Structure 1
Amino acid sequence: MNGLTFVLLVLGAGLALLVFNHDSGRTFGIDNDDFGHLIYMIPIAGLLGAGILSGRRGNMNEALRNLAIWLVIILGLVAAYLYRGDAQQFAGRMVAGLVPGRAVVVTGRDGDEVIIQKALGGHFQADVTVDGKTIPMLVDTGASSVVLSFDDAAAIGIDPETLAYTIPVMTANGRAMAAPVRLDEITIGSISRRNVRAMVSEEGRLDESLLGMSFLSTLSSLQMQTDELRLRD
């Protein structure tokens, strides 16, 4: 077995073990981060030793060049593993910026955050799953309740014709009447709430449904920045 085969076998076996034991957090009783460091140190030590021996037997410049190439390859593989989570989050945020309404889930030390990028119109808009159906909604901290448009209510299975429109509300189209309802479940990203108080607006009075405070007030934090909104469960 030559040195290259040995290095690839060690790296392949080590990475396979780390992926397999990712959820448990430990490999052979060792923390996965420490085990990852050990895995890449073994080939590096082997390559350094091989480079020294090769240099003694042959051309030192060629040995150093080969050693440097393999060090770069090994460090690249280790970096790809250690920062795989950051790469996934970066990709998700890129998609959120390019695809309006895409909520990105970012996992940090304090738990999950759902990040919503500001849409071209200046509003924070996201695709929200309501009672199993996905509809676009505006995140509106000025709305005291979740408010469904007449059409969205029908889309998720509510019969808006049978509701009692007894609550006066203000919409972008002026004063309107709304009907109280209860929604079984609302989900945005990784955040879900059940039995949420909501309202359905009269037909033609609301262009887009609103994700209001009857949902937002249940979150641990809501942080609004220039171009993004962060929701924490």
Structure 2
Amino acid sequence: MMRLIVVLAILGLGLAVLIFNHDAGESFGIRNDDFGSLVATLPIILMLSAGIVASRRSFGQSIRQLAIWVLIALVLVTGYLYRNDFSAVGERLLAGLAPGKAVTVTTADGSTEVVLHKSLGGHFETTIAVGPVSVPVLIDTGASSVALRYEDAVRIGIDPATINFTRTVMTANGRASAAPVRIPEIRLGPITRTNVEGVVLEEGRLDRSLLGMSFLSTLGLLQMQTDELRLRD
């Protein structure tokens, strides 16, 4: 049992060192690839040594023990080598299980994208940050600008007494009056835009704020698939 704990500790420590020093490219002056090979080989050496010293064990037992440690080493090294792929799979799984959660993924070419999945209502929903305030929104490519509910506008610090409802817009609830505003900052995951054109609708005329084209048109990528929306800065 003690030998098992020692070997697992060595493997775990080696994997942690590789992950921590990934960006540096070296661990203890050794290239990470070579260090990984050393970490994978060490349990084999330990098992061979243990097999020789523990003469009371049969040859068959030693071979079985050796095969187990070789398998453990291969699993750990494989986990390290394909850690980025496993991370991407996990992030996409999270996006699918939690519709509306903006999940940031790294693509094969190293680009960063925000992935959203459709909600049960068939819409792409998420939460944006306007300053320190979180605002639930619908992604709406049919809206020319960001449209804020009256209540959300008040929450982010817009004083209704300082804006003029001079525009008329169409909503799902019919015609409504809207006041043009400039939103200081909108953040969606790692994507940040400042001084965004928007409108505030009169009270009670919008069920949810809309993230429209005044924000979406500034993106480098807006790709909509069946149940997935991908946005790139």
TM (normalized to structure 2)? 0.84
Query: Which range moves more in the overlay, 95-104 or 61-70?
Result: 95-104
**How far apart are 1:106 and its partner, in Å?**
0.7
Whole-angstrom CA distance in 1 between matches of 2:114 and 2:157: 27
Whole-angstrom CA distance in 1 between matches of 2:34 and 2:223: 37
Whole-angstrom CA distance in 1 between matches of 2:26 and 2:229: 35
- Counterpart contact for 1:114–1:189, Cα < 8 Å: yes
Tell me what 1:125 maps to: 125
Is the counterpart of residue 111 in structure 1 residue 104 in structure 2? no
Amino acid at match of 1:43: L
- Counterpart contact for 1:223–1:229, Cα < 8 Å: yes
Tell me what 1:42 maps to: 41
Query: Which range moves more in the overlay, 16-25 or 191-200?
Result: 16-25
Is the counterpart of residue 189 in structure 1 residue 226 in structure 2? no
SS at match of 1:143: coil
Query: Which range moves more in the overlay, 169-178 or 119-128?
Result: 169-178
- Counterpart contact for 1:54–1:60, Cα < 8 Å: no
**How far apart are 1:47 and its partner, in Å?**
5.3
| 1:117-169 superposed Cα distances (whole Å, 9 cap, x missing partner) | 10011000001111221011001111111111111111111112431111222
Is the counterpart of residue 75 in structure 1 residue 71 in structure 2? no
| 1:40-91 superposed Cα distances (whole Å, 9 cap, x missing partner) | 4322552574488589985232122111221222223333434444444444
**How far apart are 1:114 and its partner, in Å?**
0.6
Tell me what 2:63 maps to: 64
The 5-angstrom pairing of residues 1-233 of structure 1 reads 7-8=7-8, 10-28=10-28, 32=32, 34-35=33-34, 37-43=36-42, 45-46=44-45, 49-50=48-49, 53=52, 59-108=58-107, 109-233=109-233
Over the matched positions of the two proteins, sequence identity in percent amounts to 53
- Counterpart contact for 2:11–2:40, Cα < 8 Å: no
- Counterpart contact for 2:125–2:136, Cα < 8 Å: yes
Question: Structure 1: 5+ residue runs without aligned partners?
Answer: none
Whole-angstrom CA distance in 2 between matches of 1:209 and 1:21: 44
Question: Structure 2: 5+ residue runs without aligned partners?
Answer: none
Whole-angstrom CA distance in 2 between matches of 1:9 and 1:96: 34
- Counterpart contact for 1:222–1:230, Cα < 8 Å: yes
**How far apart are 1:179 and its partner, in Å?**
1.1
